[in-house]
Chain A
Amino acid sequence: MNFDILFLLPIVAVGLAAAIHATAYLHGEALLHRPRFWGFFLATLVAMAGVVLAPGKIAFLLAWEAMGLASAGLVAFENEEKAVRKATWIYLLACHAGACLLMLAGVLLGRPDAFLAAFFCGIVGFGLKIGFPPFHVWLPEAHPAAPAPASAVMSGAMIPLGFYGLLRFFWPQCHLAPYATPCGWTLLVLGLVGALGGILFALPQANLKRLLAFSSVENMGVIAIGLGLAVLGWDAQPIGALALAGALAHVLNHALLKGGLFLAAGSVLRQTGTLDQDLLGGLMKRMPQTGTLFTLNALGLAGLPPFNGFLGELLIYSAAFAAVRTSSSALITAGFLVLAFLALTGGFAAAAYCKAIGATFLGEPRSQAAAEAVETPRRMWLAQLLLFVLSLAMVPGTIYLARLFGLGTDLLIAAAVFGGATAALAAALIALRRFLCPRGAVKPACPTWDCGYAEPTARMAYTGTAFTQPLADLFNPILHARRHLIPFRGHPATPTDAALVGETDDRALAGFWRPIFTFFARLFQQVHLLQNGSLHLYILLIILAVMALLIAAFVS
């Protein structure tokens, strides 16, 4: 099977939209910095295209490494900030570690009976790009750090290239008999954990782009679920075809929609100077086009009908149903796991996007910057519109894809038709409402009622953090949110401002990778004693080494 075109599409589409967006996004940048952005941006796109078009293993690895490097240049664009430099480093490490493992996988692939080893190397190597937990560490760091058009390209088009790699190098064998079980389960479990974990961590994030980054982890998880199911169920069609089609449709949906969302986040940042959702709010009024497009894209990505995101998930759900219907206990288990996890993920995703929309665009502005924001230049939201329109085209696109896989399309067509019916009915009801309450009657006249408070202010409103707090509390054993109260000081009659501040760090970074890195750094420092400056020690080392070599010579 050849997946090239499928993965080239997002590169072109998101690349184009991001480029349009960037022309305005960079407007405030110093003139000298812009060529740097464009250089890295184009290099990234070229390298990504190179990954897909690479004619051989070596060319693939070359393009892969180049892609990481070029995009690291994008991440480092605003390197005056420490967080950006840290993110760049983490990203570089992730890219390079991935590339190293891919080289190893390349070595192993050439051997006759090392396919599984190669697969595991590959899954970690590509997983470092895709963002399987716990290899996703770079995503929540690098996405907020990079300029929005870069994040859009990276999240929308680059991350899924990991799946492209997996499909290109491992698909021909991994869905066959002896390998299907381990490979499929690996993908499936990674996908389940990634999907649920990603969205769980997305939920309490205050930084909009960090939220989107974690939700990318979720989306990649969903794709992995689809792939895993496809591998497991390839021999029990139509499970395999359904799941694979679903996964691939989700690749495209995610690319277009997440690209649009990141661009919108960029617009917000450019117009307000912050991404902290607790300082935003009320932007739907001030940036109506951006806000509307963000809402629509989020709807699509939450997988809700009538948008295309639903169709991809529908295919995966159908695969899971089909798996449950089989007689194989492994497939039944897989099916149930997928159903439960995907449903939970869907619910959380809806919650997370509600939060993102609500906290960023709805209500009253919570800061001066948000209050003074105005709509972006036209081309910035036109870029998002472009992606949204393309994503609508994915509705027939998904049906076409399903047909390519030889699947019945009733399911999808019905979903599309009734999705359309929803839209039509909604339009009818809106018309009815307009008829019942003419425009004059709905003129906004008063502040929000708020149960009788005379002067409701934005500070009373629910912030994004407050909105997600119940769910975040429920899952705090996993999230390990840091909360601290800034108590008021002074006399109770004239208190200073008090606040409850909460942050949810990435557990994989804080709880897993950092200790490992620190451990090795400490260990290495013990070895540094060998280079203590003493000539005597140095010469002793030489003598000992020569003796060891001599012994080896005489023993061998």
Chain B
Amino acid sequence: MSLDAGAPPIALDPERHAALARVWATPRGLWGFLTTVDAKEIGKRYIVTGLVFFVLGGLLAAAMRTQLARPESGLIDPDRYNQIFSMHGTTMMFLFAVPIMEAMAVYLTPLMVGARTMAFPRLNAFSYWIYLAGGVMLYAAFVLNIAPEAGWTAYAPLSGPQFSAGKRSDIWAQLITFTEVAGLAAAVSIAATILKMRAPGMTLARVPLFAWSMLITSFMVIVAMPAVMLASSFLISDRLIGTHFYNAAEGGSPLLYQHLFWFFGHPEVYIIFLPGLGMVSEITATFCRRSVFGYPVMVLALLTTGFLAFGLWVHHMFATGLPRLGDSFYTAASMTIALPAGVQIFCWIATMWDGRPRFGTPMLYVVGFIVTFVLGGLSGVMLASVPLDTQVHDTYFVVAHFHYVLIGGAVFPLLGAIHYWFPKITGRLPSELAGRWAFALIFSGFNLAFFPMHLVGLWGMPRRVYTYSAEMGWGGMNLLSTAGAYVLAAGVAVYLLNLIVAARRGPAAGPNPWGGGGLEWATSSPPPVYNFGMTPVVEGREPLWLGEELPVLDGLDERTREVLLTSVSQAKPTSREGSPDPSIWPFVTTLATSVLFVGSIFDEWWVVWGSLPVTACVIAWFWPKPSHSRQVKRRDSGIPGAIA
């Protein structure tokens, strides 16, 4: 399989390309920027915004580490420190981790399943805009000293009306509404794309593993996110109109908040890390020149993880004094989830063992992922035991655990994946040397920063403390952690600089620089605005590795935006549907919705009056455009599903 930098296999001849490109083009200038529905355009913006929030969250973490480097350091006062660690958690979990995984899916899913665009392009655009509005609101509040201060979990009654004065916890609760609406919108769009718009022949057994992980992540988002929306809506109504959901004196219960929050909270961390598994599978297959060993076992493991994730949220509440027998059930459930993870680890290593691994930078991140994530997963098994958890819960041992599984399990695969798909997204190759340096700094900095936290946690240092006294003996390890944090920050800086420089001056990357097997490598780099002029037919798991020729189907309309719909399991072509043109309504609806959300913090009547402009925007958005079947004027007989 030569590393052909020449013409991509699916290139249309020039005039058909020009015609189709004009149909699918995004208007230029600001109007185009605000109205685009091109999944690639939105995906790029989503990824860049996610990385910006990753850097902001990282700077907040650096501030925390600088404060904790020495005991009793008066660098940051407790109020500012509480805002900083709450902002760090909220930014990383709600503004970086979940959105950027969905952003990668928004860009890559259509390309990997052979579709021209996402299922609901305007909903995608709305998802990005409402996510951006939430991020802007949170950081505007941080500047105005109204940032959240009760942690990213914001337990009641500390975040309740009496103990969190002012509008800080309201801003947190409203940010949840912003990011969850964004997450749900993107999840519905991703799930529909994977289920209904796969290339003909891509049966469920030939769906790429990244697409599988995104499908399961979307189902988890759909079921889990309403829980945190309820928890934060109950919290904000407690704080603004005096309801009693978490007021123990009037029948409410602070534990209701924890149940609702963690019923979302634990699936959330799997929502963050399942896409990471999908990315690892893709990178491993390409760099070992072998399809991933045990594909059905991998898919089954993803499904099991997705399903089990909803059955073990109480392991976050072992210290709240719930009945011990109930806790033991959650011990068993929490430990069971180690089985699918362990099986997947075996399959990746088996793929390396049986294939011929080449250690490009993405592959380094896969090795780093395995080394780091397995350690984090095992410390997770330790935390699953009720007696042990009562000792290490809410200490720095837990901080070390979840950084190992989140940074190790999701950020390493993400950094590898961005490096891996960067040539496809920008058409330019990032430098390997800078990539290796970045990996070395990130890997060693990460371990230097977070491994000592295991020890400090065992030595009794609680979580979320703005300082500690000298005689506790935690000073040395904390200093080590701070040094490691700076090295990690340097590594991330090198990584991002490498991409920024490569985006302008990197060598031109052909359609398939790494010799990958997926459909996304069948288009040019960067792909044309319509992704696939002719729809590929899939006959195996890695279509580009099957032989010298790629079978394609022609005939999709070239005068209007048309996409092919296929059946769910066998991906047999069933019908053609029009894809919406660029529209300003997602952006305008976001403005109206943001005004409603932010206004309702300051006066609850905004919910009533603010919903009128939102309704008007939604009506204008969904007001039917000239229908596709009239535009195409093909004979309407044989409409699937009609009764007559």
Bound pair (A, B): no
Chain A residues engaging chain B, CB cutoff 8 angstroms = none
